[in-house]
Amino acid sequence: MYVSVTDKDRGLHKSSNVQLITDEDLVPSLVDGVTYNTVSMAKDRKGGGTSRIRFTITAQGEKEGPIRLRRENMFYSASDIGKLTDSELNVATDMLMNNRFDKVTIQDINVDVETTSSCEVAEMVGASAPLTAVQGGNLPITLTFKPYRSEEITRTINFKIPDKQPAGPMNLIVRSGNATTWISKALAKRNSRNGANTAQGQDAGDGTGEDDSAMFQSSQRQFKDFLTEFNEMDANNEVVVDLMPSYGDSRPSRRAAARAAGTTSGSMSSAITGLLKGSKYKQKFPLDFIITGESSITVDVKKR
């Protein structure tokens, strides 16, 4: 296991290189301790700030075969950035060592961290786009951010409109990778639609057929599903743009009854996981600072 940490404020670099043990119970705490101590050595102080971490874990499962987890993210803490920095690394090692599916041996872990005492966080305060767009075209979205104790800045991203997007209004959620308010709204609308439509045997989709249903996954997931979800999780410094599910379709569907059963904790958990995964048209745009906030825009899509 190799850990490299750079304190950008002082231009100081520290690293650690240790031999991993094979004890499943001890590996997560060892990885946590080595990473935290190396960050602490580079910072030479305990306190708040911003960090960027990149790590790769190479492992071998008895059933799964070769496993590779790769993650990059940014974090901010007002009190102890060192502890928060390796939080996802801890999740990864615990998932590999203590999963219920397969016995896994970690072969190598490579960690690279950059830290600063600065607060590199900006709130998304606005998102705007042209009123009309064309199927399959690029939609420029102008984002306005308010950084911590600084003037507003703007960034422009280009969302690729689906080739088969139906003509008419297209509702988009534009959010940070850590935004959650929109999930509550989507679940509330989903449950409301399910309650109204189930008695009629109607679908709870948004008119795009499979797109919404893909957001609500079966709870019978396998180990590889958890590995894939971990590698594809949204990051705190990403702008995420996706079609906002509306659950307004009135066409009959054999899936309606199963999708309406959203009152159990297992189903709710699966629904949240599916929403975070998003549709197949979800697109992510990494920036060089942590983002908070969310917005929504509506664009009138024209046929080509």
pLDDT tens over the chain, length 304 residues? 999 999 999 999 999 999 988 788 899 999 999 999 999 999 877 789 999 999 999 999 999 999 999 999 999 999 889 889 999 999 999 999 999 999 999 999 999 999 999 999 999 999 999 999 999 999 999 999 999 999 999 999 999 999 999 999 999 999 999 887 666 766 666 666 555 544 444 444 444 444 444 444 445 779 999 999 999 999 999 999 999 876 444 343 344 344 444 445 556 566 666 777 788 999 999 999 999 999 999 999 999 8
Whether residue 144 sits in one domain with residue 24? no
Whether residue 165 sits in one domain with residue 216? yes
Domain end call among 70, 101, 116: 116
Question: Residue 99: which domain range?
Answer: 2-116
CA dihedral of 161, 164, 165, 167, whole degrees rounded to 10? 120
Whether residue 172 sits in one domain with residue 292? yes
Question: CB–CB of 122/239 below 8 Å?
Answer: no
Whether residue 233 sits in one domain with residue 189? yes
Whether residue 278 sits in one domain with residue 152? yes
Domain end call among 94, 116, 138: 116
What CA–CA distance (Å, rounded) separates 57 from 205?
38
Whether residue 52 sits in one domain with residue 153? no
Number of domains the chain contains:
2
Whose structure tokens read 């906030």?
293
Question: CB–CB of 299/172 below 8 Å?
Answer: yes
Domain end call among 62, 81, 116: 116
Tokens of 206: 């948004």
Whether residue 126 sits in one domain with residue 41? no
* DSSP annotation of 20: P
What CA–CA distance (Å, rounded) separates 145 from 90?
31
What CA–CA distance (Å, rounded) separates 26 from 37?
16
Question: What pTM value is reported for the model?
Answer: 0.81
Whether residue 282 sits in one domain with residue 264? yes
Give one DSSP letter per residue of 177-216, joined into a string: TT--HHHHHHHHHHHHHHHHHGGGTB--S-SSTHHHHTTS
Whether residue 230 sits in one domain with residue 95? no
Whether residue 286 sits in one domain with residue 151? yes
Helices 27-43 and 87-98 sit at what angle, rounded to 10 degrees? 170
